[in-house]
């Protein structure tokens, strides 16, 4: 089980963190959410029967944890325990202003969407097919297609105004 | 129908998402992590459950407060008065 879990984390940690960054809001940091997600994955691993593809399962857990965290107010949220075995090491990357600007505009526009639309567009950007998005969100494939048209218009308008 | 320009724009947006600047590298010591989970699991879950309960209580209180309008309160009061009157009448009949 340890090897499976290790492989799972190695293959998915970046994508989990990408999603956590979108949903994290004070008092929660993306790192806190990330810890909650990987804890939830660890807890769910024994019950994962392989009926769904690993990716779908990971996305479902990640989005559930992230959405649940949004419902918790400052007053009711108890910070998760800090896990010493996870380190977030700052990396110095050459800053391409144009790329950074685009990324900031994109995340800012995604943040303005409602939770359901936010989940859908994140999965789309992660290159998840409509059929899988439907499985993860519990909506139908047709419903996803209709929603995507609207979300794309909203997002495109927003990004165009920001760049 | 989507034209190629729109497709290019969306591909660019997808690239922006997937190639987002990485400000942090995530290092995980898995065997140590699992030991941490095992040792902290009860406290971790207790905190999480307490937090969930607090959220539910708060939301329930809000829902209750917001959903019961003055009209409903007045209506319930009227209904209670009618029921009380009815019970009084029934009791009086039995007394006779």
The CATH number that applies at residue A45 is 1.10.1740.10
Residues 6+ apart with CB under 8 A from A40: A61, A64, A65
Shortest alpha-carbon distance between residue A89 and chain B (Å): 5
Interchain CB distance below 8 Å, A2 and B44: no
> Residue A41, exposed/middle/buried by CB under 10 A (0-12, 13-18, 19+)?
buried
Judged by a CB distance cut-off of 8 A, whether residue A106 touches chain B is: yes
Give the separation between CA A58 and CA A141, rounded to whole angstroms.
19
Shortest alpha-carbon distance between residue A138 and chain B (Å): 23
Q: How far is CA B86 from the centre of its chain?
A: 41
Residue B19 included in any domain: no
Q: Are residues A85 and A99 in the same domain?
A: no
Q: Are residues A80 and A10 in the same domain?
A: yes
Give the separation between CA A27 and CA A41, rounded to whole angstroms.
23
| Best residue in B6, B7, B20 for a mutation probing chain A (most A CBs within 10 Å) | B20
Summarised one tens digit per residue, pLDDT across range B5-41 is 888 888 999 999 988 877 788 999 988 998 888 877 6
Give the separation between CA B46 and CA A73, rounded to whole angstroms.
18
In this complex, the residue of B29, B33, B51 whose CB is nearest that of residue A72 is: B51
> Rounded to two decimals, what is the model's pTM?
0.72
Mean pLDDT calculated for residue range B44-66: 71
Interchain CB distance below 8 Å, A76 and B51: yes
Q: Are residues A16 and A73 in the same domain?
A: yes
Q: Are residues A114 and A163 in the same domain?
A: yes
CB pairs under 8 A between A and B: 111
Q: Which among A35, A58, A91 is the end of a domain?
A: A91
Interchain CB distance below 8 Å, A89 and B25: yes
Q: Are residues A85 and A105 in the same domain?
A: no
Q: Are residues A138 and A66 in the same domain?
A: no
Interchain CB distance below 8 Å, A14 and B19: no
Count of domains observed in chain B: 1
Residue B50 included in any domain: no
Residue B93 included in any domain: yes
Q: Are residues A120 and A154 in the same domain?
A: yes
Judged by a CB distance cut-off of 8 A, whether residue A42 touches chain B is: yes
Q: Which among A64, A91, A118 is the end of a domain?
A: A91
Count of domains observed in chain A: 2
Residue B80 included in any domain: yes
Predicted pLDDT at B20? 82
Per-residue pLDDT tens listing for chain A (163 residues): 666 888 889 999 999 999 999 998 887 889 999 999 999 998 888 877 766 688 899 999 999 999 888 776 555 555 555 788 999 988 877 666 778 888 999 999 999 999 899 999 999 999 999 999 999 999 999 999 999 999 999 999 999 888 7
Give the separation between CA B51 and CA A79, rounded to whole angstroms.
9
Give the separation between CA A106 and CA A120, rounded to whole angstroms.
14
Structural domain including A101 reads 95-163
* Chain B residue whose CA is closest to A127: B14
Q: Are residues A45 and A125 in the same domain?
A: no
Q: Are residues A80 and A148 in the same domain?
A: no
Q: Are residues A83 and A100 in the same domain?
A: no
Q: Which residues of chain A are within 8 Å of residue B37 when distances are taken between CB atoms? A: 39, 42, 83
Give the separation between CA B48 and CA B59, rounded to whole angstroms.
16
Q: Which residues of chain A are within 8 Å of residue B48 when distances are taken between CB atoms? A: 78, 80
Q: Which among A53, A70, A91 is the end of a domain?
A: A91
Residue B48 included in any domain: no
Q: Answer whether residue B65 shows pLDDT above 70.
A: no
Structural domain including B80 reads 68-96
Give the whole-number percent of chain B exceeding pLDDT 90.
8
Q: Which residues of chain B are within 8 Å of residue A2 when distances are taken between CB atoms? A: 30-31, 34
Taking Cα atoms as reference points, which of A78, A57, A52, A61 lies closest to residue A19?
A61
């Amino acid at each position: 089980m340890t090897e499976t879990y290790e492989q799972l984390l190695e293959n998915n940690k970046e994508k989990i963190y990408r999603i956590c960054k979108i949903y994290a809001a004070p008092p929660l940091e993306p790192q806190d959410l990330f810890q909650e997600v990987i804890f939830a994955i660890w807890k769910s691993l024994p019950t994962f029967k392989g009926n769904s593809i690993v990716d779908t399962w990971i996305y479902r857990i990640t989005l559930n944890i992230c959405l649940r965290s949004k419902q918790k107010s400052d007053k009711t949220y108890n910070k998760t325990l800090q896990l010493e075995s996870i380190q977030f090491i700052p990396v110095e990357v050459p800053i391409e202003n144009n790329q950074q600007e685009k990324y900031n505009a994109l995340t800012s526009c995604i943040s303005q969407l409602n939770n359901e639309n936010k989940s859908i567009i994140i999965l789309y950007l992660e290159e998840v097919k409509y059929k899988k998005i439907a499985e993860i969100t519990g909506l139908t494939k047709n419903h996803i297609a209709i929603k995507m048209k609207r979300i794309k218009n909203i997002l495109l308008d927003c990004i165009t105004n920001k760049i | 129908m989507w034209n190629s320009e729109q497709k290019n724009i969306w591909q660019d947006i997808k690239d922006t998402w997937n190639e987002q600047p990485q400000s942090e590298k995530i290092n995980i010591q898995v065997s140590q992590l699992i030991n941490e989970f095992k040792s902290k699991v009860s406290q971790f879950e207790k905190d999480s459950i307490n937090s969930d309960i607090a959220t539910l209580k708060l939301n329930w209180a809000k829902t209750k407060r917001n959903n019961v309008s003055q009209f409903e309160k007045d209506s319930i009061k009227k209904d209670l008065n009618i029921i009380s009157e009815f019970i009084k009448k029934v009791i009086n009949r039995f007394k006779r």
